[in-house]
Structure 1
Amino acid sequence: MAVSDLIKQINEVVENPPAPDAVSEEERVTLLASLEKLRNVVEAPIDFTTRVIFGAHEQVGLRIGIESGIFNTMAAIGPGELTTSEVAQRTGAAPLLVSRVMKLLAAMGLFREVAEDKYANGPFAPAFSDASPLPKAVLHIVTANEVLIKIPEYLKKTKYQNPENTNDGPFQYAMNTKLQYYDWLKTEPEQAVAFNTTMMLQRMDRGEPWYEYYPVASKIETPVDEKAPLIVDVGGNIGINLNDFHAKFPELPGRLVLEDLPEVISSIQELDPSIERVVHSFLEPQPEIAKGAKFYFLGTVLHDWPDAECRTILSHIRNAMNKDSILLLSENAVPDTNAGLYQVKLDFVMMSLFAATDRTIKQFRVLLESEGFNLVKVWKPEVARPGSGFLFEAVLKQD
């Protein structure tokens, strides 16, 4: 195919895109991956270099647009239009600065420039107003990137040793603090809200939930005592996973137990009354109320911790399990080969904040075996998407 014909076809699709409901999720994910491959083929080295070294500009523009009130101001007018002077008047920002920021945001596709210094909302712009949770996620990731940019300096200082001390890693170096990240969050309420919101969005955006492709019912071969836990969600945040699990399997016997730190449990606003809230740190032994469960579920918990802390977490769960218990780890595992860029970027976020890692499948097997588990199977959804992750099923080693 001639390049001119390909360009023509692409422009035709852009000008007349299919309706959102006409494209399946599998097709959408595959198309995005194909576009990425196409760009890699046609980019010249200078294109690649320019794209990478100027990558911070988009996130800076996004954050300024959020924190200055530009997105809120534009969201308030719906399908209308505003000049940059009008936006400046409503936000209190300087007109020239607003003009410069909105040009950047328009170049990113967030606003439409309908005339000189006059803009309308693009389809995504309202998603960055205060009515959406996305601004909180932006704050969390931009803060993580403040640490990320210091990693080369940190690694040079440590003679390029792999960060493995969660109390003395890139985060402490970049932020000039002795606090571990989670302890630091307790001193920064706005950042704590941003972190918890991001975790909620991540769990909602993982595509097909784990219990849709994991055979929950068939794994319950022996009758479950209604007084015993059916599932313990370890570090389960505000309970979205357990709420949805209960809605899917309301008839299954056994108790549903949600564990997390006191500040998280106290922040829960909506939770099915059948779900028990337990204040607990997974770095401590499991409480009696959570022992002998059929399933112990950890959703993207271990990637926040170096191996030493992961072994502590796993040992406490191992000691709470019985011979019929199953450990389920939902994790953003990095494939042993041919890892995608998004997966590797998440690994560097873990390095930045926690001196931790998004492990490969092989590394998970070694970690589990070191604490007395056998890895039974690695499950994944039929339609994989960035962030879908894997579900690791493990049981106790039998003597």
Structure 2
Amino acid sequence: MEKIAAEVRELVSTADDAGRRELLKSLRELQYSLETPDDTLKRMIHYNLRLTVARTATDLKLFSLLAQNAPSPMTTIEIAKQTGAAEVLLGRLLRYLASLSMIKETGVDTFTANNITTALAGEGFQAGLRVYFDSHGPTFQAAPAFLAETHYSDITDHTKTPFQAAYNTDLPAFTYATQFPVISANFNNYLAYERTGRAIWLDAYPLEEECKAQPAEDVLLVDIGGGIGDQCVALKTRFPDIPGRVILQDEAHVLANAIVKEGVEEMAQDFFQPQAVKYAKYYYLRNILHDWPDASCRLILENTKAAMGPHSMLLIDDIVLPNSGVHWQAAQLDMTMMFVLGAMERTREQWRALLDSVSMKMVKVVQYTSLGDSIIVAVGK
């Protein structure tokens, strides 16, 4: 087994991202092919438990503690003293985490960090755990009953989803979250982290080439619903010499936590209202339209189109699903969008149909990750 493992690691070391994902898929299929029915059952019925214990571990700061102390291992007694948790309880939690390789067991009641521990210790990663356990968890639990009660109809209304059933509210998820600053903060921190280490649109899109004659006084890019501004910061950091104004738009309560960067202007704007900035070169929507059903997307697109000039382009930064063989990460994101927001990930044909419905033309699609993250370039017809 050690020889096989060494060969796999060698393959990974020379593979690109798509090759690495394909290798992981092959290994996963191999694992599943070796399972007995009992193995499969025990793996699947305890998925929720994994997230439960990991969420508890973040409250106790176990991942951070082990990562900070690495490579030196820590005993259960030492960890109990620093966390205040009961030693027996703590030992059981640590044993479970080690059994799933979230941490590494080095001896009797002795543990240290591995690469997964280090990832789990990150603030953005822990924000993601809180989002999916605290906020999305009840929605996922409510989904089977909701689907049965609605006779398995398509979910196309963001006010009629398992989220409303779980939280006993008529409010859409985003509106509901504004009432709870902690939920909003976790969500924004997770979004800022979520693509860490992954390619971004600037790695593939020919921005410099298209902006050679860009006037300095004009608006280069409007980041619509841009959150705390990580994409604007990336643009100004990567291409500080491209002239033109860069404007970050979102609701005022989101902009209150925006990253400060020279050359990035902040503007409070609701994308369901008419776009205030006219004739920008680029209007940029990153992971916005996948949050909304088609009817809402059409309103966002119509507001944007009305502000576009003859040389403006709309850049939609979102996943473009293949017609078959969708990666599990993209597929589970599609399920999340449906259950929480009544929204969806879309295929190229679905994106084209959406744009056609507001008299916009898909010019090209620039894919920049193996998961299907792409820039869809569109203009008015």
Does 2:255 align with 1:265?
yes
The corresponding residue for 1:168 is: 160
1:346-361 to 2 correspondences below 5 Å? 346-361=333-348
**Alignment match of 1:389 (pick from 365, 368, 373):** 373
Once residues 341 and 25 of structure 1 are traced to their aligned partners in structure 2, the CA distance between those partners, rounded to angstroms, is 15
Once residues 301 and 175 of structure 2 are traced to their aligned partners in structure 1, the CA distance between those partners, rounded to angstroms, is 21
Q: Secondary structure at the match of 1:333?
A: strand
Deviation track 1:307-353 (CA, whole Å, cap 9, x = no partner) reads 11101100000100112111111112322222121111000111122
Q: Which amino acid counterpart does residue 393 of structure 1 have in structure 2?
A: V
The corresponding residue for 2:230 is: 240
Equivalent residues of 2:124, 2:194 under 8 A apart: no
Does 2:354 align with 1:367?
yes
Q: Which amino acid counterpart does residue 324 of structure 2 have in structure 1?
A: T
The corresponding residue for 2:293 is: 306
Deviation track 1:226-282 (CA, whole Å, cap 9, x = no partner) reads 3321111111112221222223333333211111110111112432x2111111011
Q: Which amino acid counterpart does residue 9 of structure 1 have in structure 2?
A: K
**Alignment match of 2:3 (pick from 5, 9, 22):** 9
How much does 1:132 deviate?
3.2
Once residues 280 and 186 of structure 1 are traced to their aligned partners in structure 2, the CA distance between those partners, rounded to angstroms, is 16
Point out the more displaced range, 51-60 or 317-326.
Answer: 51-60
**Alignment match of 1:101 (pick from 93, 114, 131):** 93
> Could you tell me the TM-score, scaled by structure 2's length?
0.91
Deviation track 1:268-307 (CA, whole Å, cap 9, x = no partner) reads 2432x211111101111101xx110111110110011111
The 3 A distance-change label for structure 1 pair 362 and 48 is farther
Once residues 115 and 211 of structure 1 are traced to their aligned partners in structure 2, the CA distance between those partners, rounded to angstroms, is 46
**Alignment match of 2:194 (pick from 197, 202, 206):** 202
The corresponding residue for 1:231 is: 221
Once residues 154 and 56 of structure 2 are traced to their aligned partners in structure 1, the CA distance between those partners, rounded to angstroms, is 34
The 3 A distance-change label for structure 1 pair 89 and 247 is closer
1:131-146 to 2 correspondences below 5 Å? 132-142=123-133, 143-146=135-138
The corresponding residue for 1:215 is: 206
Q: Secondary structure at the match of 1:293?
A: coil
Q: Secondary structure at the match of 2:314?
A: strand
Fraction of identical pairs, as percent? 29
Equivalent residues of 1:300, 1:331 under 8 A apart: yes
The 3 A distance-change label for structure 1 pair 250 and 79 is closer
Equivalent residues of 2:220, 2:280 under 8 A apart: yes
Equivalent residues of 2:229, 2:259 under 8 A apart: no
The corresponding residue for 1:4 is: none
The corresponding residue for 1:3 is: none
Does 2:105 align with 1:113?
yes
**Alignment match of 2:266 (pick from 265, 268, 277):** 277
Q: Number of residue pairs matched? A: 380
Deviation track 1:72-113 (CA, whole Å, cap 9, x = no partner) reads 443443323333233233322222221221111101212222
Deviation track 1:179-229 (CA, whole Å, cap 9, x = no partner) reads 221222222222111100111122434x222122222244458x4443321
How much does 1:70 deviate?
2.5
**Alignment match of 1:334 (pick from 299, 321, 328):** 321
Equivalent residues of 1:163, 1:170 under 8 A apart: no
The 3 A distance-change label for structure 1 pair 105 and 379 is same
Once residues 5 and 337 of structure 2 are traced to their aligned partners in structure 1, the CA distance between those partners, rounded to angstroms, is 39
The 3 A distance-change label for structure 1 pair 79 and 217 is closer
> Could you tell me the TM-score, scaled by structure 1's length?
0.87
Once residues 185 and 268 of structure 1 are traced to their aligned partners in structure 2, the CA distance between those partners, rounded to angstroms, is 18
How much does 1:62 deviate?
0.8
The corresponding residue for 2:312 is: 325
Once residues 336 and 160 of structure 1 are traced to their aligned partners in structure 2, the CA distance between those partners, rounded to angstroms, is 22
Q: Secondary structure at the match of 2:186?
A: helix
Point out the more displaced range, 26-35 or 59-68.
Answer: 26-35
Does 2:178 align with 1:181?
no
Please provide the CA RMSD for this pair.
2.4
Q: Which amino acid counterpart does residue 351 of structure 2 have in structure 1?
A: F
Q: Secondary structure at the match of 1:319?
A: helix
The 3 A distance-change label for structure 1 pair 73 and 202 is closer
Q: Which amino acid counterpart does residue 377 of structure 2 have in structure 1?
A: E
Equivalent residues of 2:230, 2:259 under 8 A apart: no
Once residues 19 and 346 of structure 2 are traced to their aligned partners in structure 1, the CA distance between those partners, rounded to angstroms, is 28
Equivalent residues of 1:73, 1:91 under 8 A apart: no
Q: Secondary structure at the match of 1:93?
A: coil
The 3 A distance-change label for structure 1 pair 203 and 371 is farther
Once residues 102 and 43 of structure 1 are traced to their aligned partners in structure 2, the CA distance between those partners, rounded to angstroms, is 25
Q: Secondary structure at the match of 2:226?
A: coil
Once residues 119 and 211 of structure 2 are traced to their aligned partners in structure 1, the CA distance between those partners, rounded to angstroms, is 42
Equivalent residues of 1:318, 1:372 under 8 A apart: no
Once residues 306 and 18 of structure 2 are traced to their aligned partners in structure 1, the CA distance between those partners, rounded to angstroms, is 40
How much does 1:120 deviate?
2.1
